[in-house]
Structure 1
């Protein structure tokens, strides 16, 4: 069964690899957008090599807002890895748009975003972890965030601290480029997200 599931991933890997890690859209390189004085990082992803040129240095920040945004973004791994997709209500606005890049593409609206569950159903477990992060408060009600991530997707059912005899996993490395808005209740939510791959998808498929 696991071999069959892994074979399903091969055409997905080929398609995603054909797009490369940058997935740049030139029109995003605009230093004034709808998010106050922040660079525009939507609707298309910014190439990794261009981020350093367009992101301003953070000198002073609203630490309360930054902490609130960090907690909002932390809900995403909890929702995905816990298979509790209704928890995505805490991350995205109802009319949010997520560009997951190839092969998933663009999902518009929270109900569509939650259909990511269908694509992840083939995996027994997933593990999403965050790394380097940049958060910029643009105005009292708008912000952007760049968050590095590593995502592991496991086909094997073994959840214990043992070596799986037939390990099959899919690993992804990249970043989330988020545009956020402050809500009436004081929380922050993502209105637009770009997922950018920073390397090829990797299958660990031992026999």
Structure 2
């Protein structure tokens, strides 16, 4: 873990401790999604979770610690990319999932608020990097499988293919604030898949 906050569950506590941890971190995510990070307080989280604020302060230190721990906790939740049988189809499904996560999904406000919080806090930013790295690693399995099918070269950098597919979507959603149309999703997926097939996203030799 990279945050300065002890990772929730790192000692695998059971019983009441585990329940309190889950309640506090879920309450943190709920408050963040509903009200944004600027109004998030330990008192709000304590009231929502039913855990005394002194306990919350003692374990997580404050809002930054809560946010970082909640992001790290949520990274452990089950998630796998959709499989379609082709790299283009898999990357299209991935871009669609990213777009839904910020526009249609129940957690859309949480997604945006998490990034906003990371811009304000180095502690939260480190935790968000851990979360995103985990998601990219999980998504990269579709690239590895495409190598196995012979669709793309064996030396393809699977993480770079994932980044190439989702980066234009994040740019539209979070930087230019443009609408994301189905054609945008298809273009991003097609561009990444074709670049991989042409060997343009090969792993780089860092030794030199």
Same-fold status (TM-score > 0.5): no
Which range, TM-score by smaller chain? under 0.3
* Greater fraction helix: 2
The structure that has the greater radius of gyration is 2
Normalising by structure 1, report the TM-score.
0.24
